[in-house]
Amino acid sequence: MSYFLAFCLALCWGTAFLATKNIVTALPPYWSTFFRVLAGLLFFLILYIIQKKNLKIKLNQLWRPFAIGFMLILFPFAALSWGQRFVAPTVGGIFNGSVPIWSFIAGAIILKGADRFTWRRAAGIILGLCGLLTITWPKVSASFNGINSVEIYGYLALLLMAWSYGLGNVLTKKIMVDNHSVSLEANTFYQYFLSAAILLIVALCAEPFPSIEKFSSKVIISIICAGVFSSAVAFLLMVALIKRWGATRMASVTYFSPIIAMVLDIFALRRFPTNYEVIGLCIIFIGLFLIQKPIKN
């Protein structure tokens, strides 16, 4: 059962990038992000009403879901929507696969304890960064030669996405997991509620509301896929898997989401990964293995 949950989680995470690409091709990035978050919010609202969960929260505790929601929902979703316009879903999946690198760096600094630096883990971090550089090198080198490439903007946005996820994972443990002043259900609901409210204000101020014609069946299905399955359902699967495997082993699922994103890219968009992307992904995987391998006491 645990392996089935892991497969479903990898599938949910891996499909997010093709779905996001479909959405941002038709809708402006901030509206794309808002509708994705809105879909997740409605899912949790319906789920918690059916389960009759208590979603009350004290006003002085609202900063907890706001902080986590900003780092794990609002900012990374917006960065992904903005950046995915310029790059293929495969690239988004690979950058997302680098999240454990940033989680380890943030954890080693903030949490200390088991996530301490070693020479092996330092080598893993360097390899992970080299893998990202390998993927981006063709466009970066072209910019050095005076050739303007919009893909670089996508790389920067995806890097911010991965960094935000990494730091957000660490803050989740410090703010939510290690603190029980707010229930898991209330924390999750208000993460989505506050993120949706802020994104609605930003979208109204920054972009015109998209016309109804833009909401094709493909876009609507992609919003549901990204907002419900790749976000809300993925969160529930992640929590269930952490309870069964623990956080460290659960993080190994990250290895498979870039592969799923790559496969979907091939079949849906007929876009095959470049040699740089394949080599860079392999280098990142080696770096992740060095980072996540337990330290012998």
What are the pLDDT digits (tens) for 250-282? 767 877 888 899 999 999 888 898 899 999 999
- Within 8 A by CB and 6+ apart from 244, the residues are 2, 5
Classify residue 71 by its DSSP letter: I
Q: What is the mean pLDDT of residues 99-112?
A: 75
Query: Could you tell me the pTM of the whole model?
Result: 0.89
- Angle of helix 275-292 relative to helix 257-269, nearest 10 degrees? 160
Give the per-residue pLDDT at 179.
59
35-39, 135-139, 148-152, 265-269 — which is least confidently predicted? 148-152
Give the per-residue pLDDT at 105.
80
Q: 40 pLDDT exceeds 90?
A: yes
Residue 16 pLDDT class (50, 70, 90 cuts): very high
Give the per-residue pLDDT at 138.
85
Give the per-residue pLDDT at 149.
74
Mapped onto helix, strand or coil, the DSSP state of residue 148 is coil
Give the per-residue pLDDT at 143.
72
Q: 109 pLDDT exceeds 80?
A: no
Q: What is the mean pLDDT of residues 9-16?
A: 91
Taking the C-alpha atoms of residue 232 and residue 39, their distance in angstroms, rounded to an integer, is: 9
What are the pLDDT digits (tens) for 167-225? 887 777 666 655 567 788 888 999 999 999 999 999 999 999 999 999 999 999 999 99
Give the per-residue pLDDT at 34.
97
Is the distance from CB of 33 to CB of 77 less than 8 angstroms? yes
**CB under 8 A, 24+ apart: contacts of 239-246:** 239/184, 240/5, 241/2, 241/5, 241/6, 241/9, 244/2, 244/5, 245/2, 245/6
Better-predicted residue by pLDDT, 34 or 63:
34
Q: 21 pLDDT exceeds 90?
A: yes
Q: How far is CA 108 from CA 33, 116, 234, in A?
A: 31, 5, 26
Give the per-residue pLDDT at 2.
77
Taking the C-alpha atoms of residue 71 and residue 74, their distance in angstroms, rounded to an integer, is: 7
Q: What is the mean pLDDT of residues 133-139?
A: 88
Residue 233 pLDDT class (50, 70, 90 cuts): very high
Is the distance from CB of 173 to CB of 111 less than 8 angstroms? yes
Q: 229 pLDDT exceeds 80?
A: yes
Give the per-residue pLDDT at 116.
62
Taking alpha carbons only, the member of 271, 254, 240, 211 closest to residue 21 is 271
Q: 113 pLDDT exceeds 70?
A: no
Mapped onto helix, strand or coil, the DSSP state of residue 182 is coil
Q: Tokens for 15? A: 């499909």
Taking the C-alpha atoms of residue 37 and residue 194, their distance in angstroms, rounded to an integer, is: 10
